[in-house]
Amino acid sequence: MALLSLTASHHELDLDALERLSTGAHSIGGSAVAACDVITGAVVLATCNRFELYLDVDAPLDGTGVQHATEHVARMVAEASGVEVAEALASFRTRAGTEVAEHLFAVASGLDSMVVGEREIAGQVKRALETAHADGVTSSTLELLFQTASRTSKKVSTHTTLGGAGRSVVALGLDLAAAELPPWPQVRAVLIGTGSYAGASLAALRALGCDDVRVYSQSGRAEEFAAARGVEAVTDLVAALEDADLVVSCSGARGRALAADAARPGAERREQAIEHVLDAAAVVRARERAAVRAGEEPVARPTVVLDLALHRDVDPRVADVEGVLLYDLATLAAHSPSIASELVTQARAIVDEATRAFEKTRLGRAADTAVVALLADAERRVALEVADVVALREADGDPVEPDEADEIARGVRRRVHADLHRAIVAARAEAVAAAQAEERAVVADAQALVHEAAGVR
């Protein structure tokens, strides 16, 4: 068994490229397991700024095997997203073995996020495993990997203040919006979406003192969402926008439309137009209605729009509407604050410790053969020593009774095993180090082969 991950994030790709690549992401895990015999488990982690696949591969870990699995999955991603195979291949970074755990643990702890220290990612990592488990496409190794990632994230949260300030994409967006808004208790907000990000956005707004929140959803779930949280559901988005100071859009509905469209035949897919959840025309109509209602009084308040969806809920042309300020993920990434290096160092130390412990468990199986061989050799030594003692006693005319022979054997075994402990520790460490070195070499070789196949130089 070998752990592999294919990762693409805002560190390597711009958000437009990441958006294209992640279309149809959630179907990839099940498809990979169903279509490739050597892939025994898969978990997909797709968030607003990353698209990652974690695979359990039942095949010898060599460069060709890693290359085959990587290319196979990249072709499936290309088919689901509509990008070229070469683009998909070039977009992913391949990791194996120790690097897989180290990366996921850092991701789950908020160390690899657009806003370092953000806490939403911990829930997203947990839900990624739950989804794969519900779909029946995990493996015992992937279950352990993701469960350990969640425990590591919780330990970072408990033992450091990295996420203590409520750092998140939502919080950063609201911080930027605040400069253009009235005091929070006076803000009239419209929330588009009913998913986990919508819940986090509503909680953040309430924490700031904003209680005038209306919820809109294309899916028809606004009533249920609003009733459970004590806010108002609306069905006419344009009417709701008329007096809105702030719009927070995080529905991901356009992403789902893109994914469904990507499943269509190629020609039909190209002809299909994907509409934004909030387009410029709707915003213009809302501003015009507000102006008519105001009469001679100018519409002094601007409308701030936060688009927190990777697949852009909001038409970028909204930014051209007079009196409207649009902040999307790219804007938020550019304004992401730095964080104290000592906090990152503390969190990294926890991640490193968790990685070592996980790898000790995972790679312990690689050392089992060596340990079993040492134990078998020790038993042979015990048997030989006992046989020698019995032979000497019998040569002196002092036969050894069975019970006494057993006692002699126990004494010899205690002595031999005391010496053996150091040898077992050394053998296990050597086997684990050898496995890690092999995995690093294999991944480097496979990455070179994959990039060569993708035409990357």
Residue numbers annotated as active site = 48
Beta strands 188-192 and 39-47: pairing type?
Answer: unpaired
Say how far apart CA 244 and CA 234 lie, in whole Å: 13
Q: Are 202 and 231 in contact (CB under 8 A)?
A: yes
Q: 């592999």: which residue's tokens?
A: 4
CA neighbor of 323 nearest in space, from 348, 299, 293, 355: 299
Amino acid at 160: T
Q: Are 210 and 216 in contact (CB under 8 A)?
A: no
Amino acid at 190: V
Say how far apart CA 406 and CA 294 lie, in whole Å: 101
CA neighbor of 163 nearest in space, from 115, 206, 196: 115
Say how far apart CA 237 and CA 244 lie, in whole Å: 10
Say how far apart CA 407 and CA 217 lie, in whole Å: 78
- Which value, in Å, is the radius of gyration of the alpha carbons in the chain? 29
**Token output for 147:** 């469960």
